[in-house]
Structure 1
């Protein structure tokens, strides 16, 4: 029997229209959770919902929503009409690539709004539900915040993205500690580059630093962490990515920034 057992509960997955989000939804449905899938692309959500209902017989609610809006968290709560949520996967996010001096200011603000503001607001909105659910049945509730291996060091040419993911990592680890006594499983998932649409959005393959994995491999790493009796506060996916994240702490910060900057060089 797995330690993380969401059968009969409801899970929210943001950014569920593709990549990690769609894979999280599939795995949660396979374990018997009803789903609330959130993203901007309504057609993608509808197709995913049809797939999950047919394959696993679970209830799936689709909520097309722009998470950069300041009211996104309360809008999502209102859309659920009183449903109690036991698991929240804050997966939605994106990155941009290029020197900050040339960045589009509105796009950088949107990146912060989605990667940080929405994640914090959704966590604050639903954390009481998650904690209450964890108290009803051990191993039934979880909070997964998708960070990145970019969280462990500054990332030149992805300055805002790296900073937002460092925030997600720090925030998640603090919430992990604050909820230790409740039984809620909390972890920050830190993947390296993966075969998803991320680099299409970033518009540059030079943004990739580290060993590529599939979305399935990354999400499997997250579930392996959730299945542990003591879920760790952060989870790095991929052996080489774990080595890289661990090594950063032993190297002077200036050298780390220079090394990452050289790896990320390329034409925009």
Structure 2
């Protein structure tokens, strides 16, 4: 029986991945900061699907977090067949006015920990010549977004990095997929500090976590390098910026995202 490791597994897309994969008979390693939420989810999945579910309560912004997670799985003799890098966060506002330490923390979570986890779990996958990695990017990856600058930039990194790894690792039997959803719910935007009007506007590109997971797993089976889940609005947000001057795109998002400041 195969095993998947999911970061940011306690809620949202991460929890939806856990639910779907457990229903398919996969064992799981769930990673997030909240021990209680992880344990509650793990108990539910064990009861429903009779699969093995391990829990690692770990803040990915902590020093050596990825090494701690990797070494914990090694100590448990747990082979990770599917790595899902889902954990991430964002912050709304003028970059120069936002807390510097928190901006660096976002980069640590969205990029540094993500790269470290990928590197450590990719090594044994290449040695076995099998395995898969799903990386959660965003439609924000396709454009710069004033007042959401760090988040969009980190997602652009994830998209570019994932596509490169897809090409590098196919000959080793390892598949890498970038998943670029729109909004998977209003809670993320509320936590990021968006004004209420913009939180409501996010529903235009909202896609349920279950649809994101469904489309991601279908794309993984087809060995695609990238998938944009959900409705036509997400496809437009990802595609249209390719045909418009980049300064126009940035100016447009400044008007939209800055309107409520």
How many residue pairs end up in the alignment? 254
Q: CA deviation at 1:52?
A: 0.8
Structure 1: distance between partners of 2:240 and 2:225: 18
TM-score (norm 2): 0.92
1:159 is aligned to: 149
Q: Given the alignment of the two structures, is residue 224 of structure 1 paired with residue 218 of structure 2, yes or no?
A: yes
- Report the counterpart of residue 208 of structure 2 in structure 1: 214
Partner of 2:82: 87
Structure-1 residue corresponding to 2:187: 197
Tell me what 1:29 maps to: 22
Q: Answer whether contact 1:196 1:214 (CA < 8 A) is retained.
A: no
Match of 2:235 among 230, 242, 245: 242
Distance 1:152 1:46, change over 3 A: same
Q: Quote how far apart the aligned CAs of 1:132 are.
A: 4.1
Per-residue displacement from partner, 1:166-204 (whole Å, max 9, x unpaired)?
100111111000011123221111011121631232021
**Which stretches in structure 2 are left out of the alignment for 5+ residues?**
none
Q: Which structure has more helix as a fraction of its residues?
A: 2
Moved over 4 A (4+): 207-210
Q: Structure 1, unaligned stretches of length 5 or more?
A: 1-7, 136-140
Alignment RMSD, CA only? Answer: 1.5
1:44 alignment partner in structure 2? 37
Between stretches 155-164 and 255-264, larger displacement belongs to: 255-264
| Residues 13 and 184, structure 2, Cα contact 8 Å, conserved in 1 | no
TM-score by structure 1 length?
A: 0.90
> After superposition, where does 1:248-259 map in structure 2 within 5 Å?
248-259=241-252
Superposed CA offset, 1:130-153 (max 9, x none): 334554xxxxx3100101110001
